[in-house]
Structure 1
Amino acid sequence: MQCPFSDNPGFSRLSSHVAERRGERADMQDAHVIIEDFSSFVSHLHSSVGRISYYAVFDGHAGDRASKFAAENVHKKIASGFPKGELNRVEADMKKCLVDAYKKSDEEFLKLATQNKPVWKDGTTAISVLVINNTLYIANLGDSKAILCRYNPDSQKHTALPLSKCHNPTDYEERMRIQKAGGNVREGRVMGVLEVSRSIGDGPYKKLGISAIPDVKRCQLTDEDRYIVIACDGLWKSFSNDEAIKEINCIIEAKESQVESESSVWDAASNHLASEAVRKLSADNVTVLIIKIS
């Protein structure tokens, strides 16, 4: 998909390309969202906010209900709480907006989960990238990740810049929070079961320190930025950040030399990366979302 703001000379041109693989799982528990024109969800935008786009990947576990719920609702919470006023006001309040959207989505899903018998135990990691003009706002829970490929003209090399921080129970701060709440970490998992320390859902573990408060990062796009990769841990179990960038660049170079259309080149890259993750014996679901930046 191509962002409708691509003709504005002040904005980087964006186009998104996604691939999904079930892997060795019995079903697909991932979900993703692409909203190129997010401004249609916000009724009170100031004229200084010229472009908003939204991209997200949700990696469900213990079922697909939490990931589907998050895919349907997180962006709505962002839209309803979107800061009013000029761009500087939006920038100042954006972190709070994203944190509130994740927390409210978690609260609503947990309420829904307890209304069902048996109670739903589903949970999901979450990572979303909101592009406002030429600034990225990245919010995440769990071990899904986003990286940015940036070209260094001095070294003439591409670098993978992390845009998110993984939340693993073995990390000191995460483990301390879990232990303070009465939980424990065994074999790298909360209570020996849950592999992440922050998520939407996971009702049985919320009282044991599992948090729905995301980390929020901000990144300004530059003329040297090439693309963003957003993916669940099914990809990152098979590829390091640098390996993913190298693999994508190899496919892009090979396909471009064959004079293929731009869209097919990047579709091929996302599909290749997802397939390679499965081929490398990633037993998990795999979702790869690449946002090309021009």
Structure 2
Amino acid sequence: MKIVYLEFQLQSQNPDMEECFKNAFELTNSEILQSQFDTALSGSTTVLALIQQNQLWTANVGDSRAILCRNNNGWKSIPISRDHKPSDEAEKQIIIQAGGRIQCQRDFFGNNVGPERVWLSYIDAPGLAMTRSMGDKIGAEAGVSSIPEVFQFTLSTNDKFLVIASDGVWEYLSNDDVMNIIIPYYEKDELDQAGEKLMMEAINSWKNNSPARDDITFIIIQLNN
């Protein structure tokens, strides 16, 4: 992420936070596409959070996710980002209007296999399972965008911690699953152990459901009330 640019913009008087994030994502994506890396079929999801006093902003592309965990006479997990999936009707229309195609992969007999994916109209590529990302040059030709979705929230003393994680964590674990794994360790002020436990649970969820495994990366952020 273009941290220097973002910091500069945030230091200005009354910055437009959504515009700051969108410009930072655009600059970052431009640098990725112009780098020495082959981005034709390579890219990444992105999710970030920014806290200023009691205001929280999130920005994301793809299906990495952030949740806020609140305890107000009972625990509740609150999604603070939105997954950008081809199955989402609004996201699907963006791809179709850009000339891309949405459909599942097909097996030898023509049966649908797995989730809906993004393809070019004239060839079975790139087959992305998300509608927004960084990089993914061929995906961009099908309408895949690096424009983030930005949300703003007001924090309260009931908000205890954030979890920001890549899609490998969320594939087989729900928001509540992740929160409930962390709570016992949060209550004992043992977030390092919470991280170890969440990592093992995410790994085991893949072992129990798939021969493959996606990237598992996350951060748990305790909120100082």
TM bin, normalised by shorter chain, reads 0.7 to 0.9
Could you say which residue in structure 2 is the equivalent of 1:70? none
State the shift of 1:204 in Å.
1.0
Could you say which residue in structure 2 is the equivalent of 1:104? 27
> Are 2:68 and 2:159, in contact at CA under 8 Å, matched by a contact in 1?
yes
Residues 56-205 of structure 1 correspond to what in structure 2 (within 5 A)? 73-82=1-10, 84-85=12-13, 89-90=14-15, 93-112=16-35, 120-152=40-72, 156-187=73-104, 188-191=116-119, 193-205=127-139
Could you say which residue in structure 2 is the equivalent of 1:224? 158
Distance in 2, matches of 1:211 and 1:281, equals 28
> Residue 209 and residue 137 in structure 1: after superposition, are their counterparts in 2 closer, same or farther (change >3 A)?
same
Distance in 1, matches of 2:4 and 2:202, equals 31
Structure 2: gaps (5+ residues): 105-115, 208-212
Match for 1:286 among 196, 201, 216?
216
Which amino acid in structure 1 is aligned with residue 149 of structure 2? D
> Are 2:21 and 2:59, in contact at CA under 8 Å, matched by a contact in 1?
yes
Which amino acid in structure 2 is aligned with residue 130 of structure 1? L
Consecutive aligned runs of 4 or more in structure 1 exceeding 3 Å deviation = 118-121
> Residue 189 and residue 134 in structure 1: after superposition, are their counterparts in 2 closer, same or farther (change >3 A)?
same
Aligned partner of residue 129 in structure 2, secondary structure: coil
State the shift of 1:234 in Å.
0.7
Distance in 1, matches of 2:183 and 2:80, equals 19
Q: What is the number of equivalent residue pairs in this alignment?
A: 202
State the shift of 1:83 in Å.
5.0
CA offsets 1:187-217 (integer angstroms, 9 cap, x no match): 1111161111001100011121101110101
State the shift of 1:119 in Å.
6.0
> Residue 211 and residue 120 in structure 1: after superposition, are their counterparts in 2 closer, same or farther (change >3 A)?
closer
State the shift of 1:177 in Å.
1.3
CA offsets 1:117-168 (integer angstroms, 9 cap, x no match): x66532010001011122111000000000001111xxx2111011001100
Residues 243-254 of structure 1 correspond to what in structure 2 (within 5 A)? 243-253=177-187
> Are 2:41 and 2:139, in contact at CA under 8 Å, matched by a contact in 1?
no
Distance in 2, matches of 1:183 and 1:111, equals 23
TM-score when normalising by structure 1: 0.65
CA offsets 1:41-74 (integer angstroms, 9 cap, x no match): xxxxxxxxxxxxxxxxxxxxxxxxxxxxxxxx33
Instruction: Compare relative contact order (CA 8 Å, sep 6+) and give the higher one, 1 or 2.
Output: 1
Aligned partner of residue 99 in structure 1, secondary structure: helix
Aligned partner of residue 284 in structure 1, secondary structure: coil
TM-score when normalising by structure 2: 0.84
> Are 1:273 and 1:288, in contact at CA under 8 Å, matched by a contact in 2?
no
Q: Over aligned residues, Cα RMSD in angstroms?
A: 1.7
